[in-house]
Amino acid sequence: MSILKVEKLTKSFGGLTAVSNVNMYLDQGELVGLIGPNGAGKTTLFNLLTGVYKPTAGTVTLQRGGSDQVISGLKPSTICEMGLARTFQNIRLFKDLTVLDNVRIAMHKDVRYGLLSSFLHLPSFVREEKRLKEKSLELLRVMGLEDKKDELAKNLPYGEQRHLEIARALATNPVLLLLDEPAAGMNPAETARLTELIGWIRENYKVTILLIEHDMSLVMKVCERIFVLDYGMIIANGTPAEIQSDKRVIEAYLGEDVANA
Amino acid sequence: MKVKNLMEKPAFRKFGGIIVLYAVVQLLISVGILNDYYFATIVTIGINVILAVSLNLITGFTGQFSLGHAGFMSIGAYFCAIVTLRVPGIPGFLLGMLAGGAAAAVVGLLVGLPTLRLKGDYLAIATLGMAEIIRIVFQNIEITNGAAGLSNLPKFVNWSWLFLFVAGITVLIVNFLHSSIGRACISIREDEIAAESMGINITRYKVTSFIIGAFCAGIAGALYATYFPIIKPDTFGFAKSVDILVIVVFGGLGSITGSIVGAVVLGLISMLLASWTDLRMVIYAILLIVIMIFRPQGLMGSREFSLAMLKRAGEQLNGLFHKKSKKEEN
Ligand SMILES: Nc1ncnc2c1ncn2[C@@H]1O[C@H](COP(=O)(O)OP(=O)(O)OP(=O)(O)O)[C@@H](O)[C@H]1O
Ligand SMILES: [Mg+2]
């Protein structure tokens, strides 16, 4: 059963068409890769899915519980409330806040107390805050950041900042998780650990995952299916084995000359 | 031993300091050491604390640049004065406070909703214009008595009322900042795109923070109009908005204790230099330049002053003194 359907999605910046007539789908529970050369339009596609950019044309439909809902054109916060969460390629943590606060903020949309309780710290506040903290700490434990909960996000090493991005996205309680180059800047050992973690998260949080990654060791290992984007267009879609032997993909990555040689 | 036990209680650690402050000032007033002249300075400082803390909520914590805080103050002052000139006694006073705060909040909604939806710093321009329009309106309508302003206003504010409003509003805002909605506001300052991608409705919380700030500025204005006998449109001009912003920047954007310290320090300097108005402006300017050079983040940065901070500083000092003897032990 598919959970996300993308139809004829297009985004132009002036004369440049960064995403061009993209059709794709994701099935419930799948772990899918999105690859392509630099500037292919992968991040732009994520920005369209999450509402950061409005599409020039086309639609994105989220299918949940048998009902279809067009999400293209909605506000990012509304799209997040409907179950899409993401991480950012150029890390966008709340830098001057603690690790714990970064995660708690992402849980705000589900908080069950209002303004009055915020001012007066009524019992409903105390109860909810306790729940928020416990759930945040659990997510931090999963991502190996529990003992860093009181550090400022900006003081974490690079790899841990990427882990915190994932913890924060999970805190929104998503059905679909979009990861933009989660292993960028990590060494092979860190990447291997992250690869395992991503598989584990999919199993335990029952989320569908779409991930952008340049590190092929990660993509080929965990992804069941891969989309290849080149010049804003989907040029291939298949299993890792199919993608590795696809002539157009090899061309896109290595240039036509090499492919023909 | 008993005192120490008391000080360990969480309630005391939270409120002990301000209760002691209340008692000490009350004592100084009743024995006559703090005369009316000094008390006027205390009222001004208290009003400035409310103004600075509430502007800090908007600018330092939510990251929205507002240049018209004095405009909200004047709405609060005039609405309150209009009420207290008609309704006698404490009911009039309380009704006036409420009217002042509520009127400022409504104007805050009218200005904030259309501008805070836009990306970019339109709020600064809109609030600047708003404050100017309000001033001109108050200068030209009958009920506010034009440029001459309203005079013979009944006086209600004593130390207890002042303390109640200043401490009460500060505690409420600190509580708010330590709630999920408060954190949502702070996340907007940190990174709007990340915040909205994590489910934060950024327009809603920008407006929320702005309205709370406007309400508090209205209360500050109402306190002004129930202590000082005269209010005039010019009292709440652009210069007053800048004064408030200076306190906030001086104390540190994003630090409540910084705003309080800023209001007190700058208030005392103003008092000491009251008879040399020109010199006051020069010293003000020099002070600001010095702060901008040596501590561009303001006195407190975005940190809060706490007993734990004093304790840490004490331990560090202690450590310095004891280093030598420890080395010898080893
Ligand atoms: N806001 C924008 N305004 C104008 N052009 C943009 C904007 N965002 C992206 N682009 C352009 O769109 C194209 C696709 O960019 P995008 O960031 O989506 O690529 P990418 O596949 O994520 O690349 P990388 O692997 O380097 O991250 C690039 O040519 C980029 O310059
Ligand atoms: Mg990218």
* Rounded Cα–Cα distance for residues A234 and A242 (Å): 15
Structure confidence at residue A249 as a pLDDT band (50, 70, 90)? confident
Q: Is the pLDDT of residue A45 over 70?
A: yes
Query: Shortest Cα distance from A73 to chain B (angstroms)?
Result: 14
Which ligand is nearest the CA of A229, by number?
1
Cβ-nearest to B190 among A85, A96, A108: A96
Partners of B213 on chain A (C-beta within 8 Å) are: none
The answer to whether B103 contacts chain A (CB < 8 Å) is no
The answer to whether B308 contacts chain A (CB < 8 Å) is no
The answer to whether A77 contacts chain B (CB < 8 Å) is yes
DSSP element (H, E) containing A150: none
CB contact under 8 A, A93 and B191: yes
Decide if A34 contacts A226 (C-beta within 8 A): yes
Partners of A88 on chain B (C-beta within 8 Å) are: 194, 197
The A67-70 sheet, strands edge to edge: A16-27, A2-13, A57-64, A67-70
The answer to whether B196 contacts chain A (CB < 8 Å) is yes
Residue B297 sits at the vertex; the CA angle it makes with A146 and B196, to the nearest 5 degrees, is: 50
Delimit the domains of chain B by residue range: 1-34, 35-299
- Per DSSP bridges, beta strands A225-230 and A208-212 are unpaired
Nearest CA in chain A to B201: A77
Structure confidence at residue A257 as a pLDDT band (50, 70, 90)? low
pLDDT at A35: 94
SS3 sequence of A214-239: CCHHHHHHHCCEEEEEECCEEEEEEC
CB contact under 8 A, A108 and B184: yes
pLDDT at B324: 46
The answer to whether B325 contacts chain A (CB < 8 Å) is no
pLDDT at B15: 75
Cβ-nearest to A115 among B181, B187, B201: B181
Partners of B178 on chain A (C-beta within 8 Å) are: 121
Residues recorded for chain A:
261
Cα B171 from chain centroid (whole Å): 12
Partners of A168 on chain B (C-beta within 8 Å) are: 198
Q: Boundaries of CATH 3.40.50.300 in chain A?
A: 2-83+174-260
Q: What percent of chain A has pLDDT over 70?
A: 97
Residue B161 sits at the vertex; the CA angle it makes with B158 and B165, to the nearest 5 degrees, is: 140
Angle between helices A158-171 and A188-205 (to 10 degrees): 10
SS3 sequence of chain B: CHHHHHHHCHHHHHHHHHHHHHHHHHHHHHCCCCCHHHHHHHHHHHHHHHHHHHHHHHHHHCCCCCCCHHHHHHHHHHHHHHHHCCCCHHHHHHHHHHHHHHHHHHHHHHHHHHHHCCCCCHHHHHHHHHHHHHHHHHHHCCCCCHHHCECCCCCCCCHHHHHHHHHHHHHHHHHHHCCHHHHHHHHHHHCHHHHHHCCCCHHHHHHHHHHHHHHHHHHHHHHHHCCCCCECHHHHCHHHHHHHHHHHHHHCCCCHHHHHHHHHHHHHHHHHCCCCHHHHHHHHHHHHHHHHHHCCCCCCCCCCCCHHHHHHHHHHHHHHHHHHHHHHHC
Listed as ranges, residues in chain B with pLDDT below 50 are 1, 324-330
pLDDT at B321: 61
Phi, psi dihedrals of residue B34, rounded to the nearest 5° = -90, 100
Which ligand is nearest the CA of A20, by number?
1
Decide if B252 contacts B300 (C-beta within 8 A): yes
Ranges assigned E (strand) in A36-172: 57-64, 67-70, 84-86
Which of A214, A67, A68, A95 is CA-nearest to residue A154? A95
Partners of B194 on chain A (C-beta within 8 Å) are: 88, 92-94
The answer to whether B191 contacts chain A (CB < 8 Å) is yes
pLDDT at B323: 53
* Rounded Cα–Cα distance for residues A202 and A177 (Å): 9
The answer to whether B199 contacts chain A (CB < 8 Å) is yes
Cα A48 from chain centroid (whole Å): 12
Q: Report CA(A18)–ligand 1 centroid distance (Å).
A: 7
Ligand 1 binding pocket (C-beta < 6 A) is A 13, 16, 18, 36, 38-44, 89
CB contact under 8 A, B198 and A172: yes
Name the one residue in this structure whose structure tokens are 């002053």.
Answer: B305
pTM of the entire predicted model: 0.91
pLDDT tens digits, A72-83: 999 999 999 999
pLDDT at B4: 56
Partners of A104 on chain B (C-beta within 8 Å) are: 180, 183
pLDDT tens digits, A121-178: 999 999 999 999 999 999 999 999 999 999 999 999 999 999 999 999 999 999 999 9
Which of B232, B84, B235, B75 is CA-nearest to residue B155? B84
Tell me, what DSSP letter sits at residue A98? B
* Rounded Cα–Cα distance for residues B10 and B307 (Å): 12
What is the third-level CATH fold of B35-299?
ABC transporter involved in vitamin B12 uptake, BtuC (1.10.3470)
Q: What percent of chain A has pLDDT over 90?
A: 85
Query: Shortest Cα distance from B186 to chain A (angstroms)?
Result: 9
Nearest CA in chain A to B179: A118
pLDDT at B328: 42
pLDDT at B298: 80
Decide if B258 contacts B252 (C-beta within 8 A): yes
The answer to whether A168 contacts chain B (CB < 8 Å) is yes
Between the alpha carbon of residue B247 and those of residues B18, B80, B219, B298, B300, the distances in Å are 21, 25, 18, 9, 12
**Candidate of A22, A35, A43, A210 to mutate for ligand 1, largest count of ligand atoms within 8 Å of Cβ:** A43
CB contact under 8 A, B183 and A104: yes
* Rounded Cα–Cα distance for residues A109 and B285 (Å): 44
Side-chain-side CA neighbours of A24 within 13 Å: the count stands at 27
What CATH number is given for A2-83+174-260 in this structure? 3.40.50.300
Which of B177, B191, B214, B215 is CA-nearest to residue B63? B191
- Per DSSP bridges, beta strands A31-35 and A57-64 are unpaired
Phi, psi dihedrals of residue B315, rounded to the nearest 5° = -65, -40
Question: Which residues 6+ apart lie within 8 Å of B201 measured at CB?
Answer: A75, A77
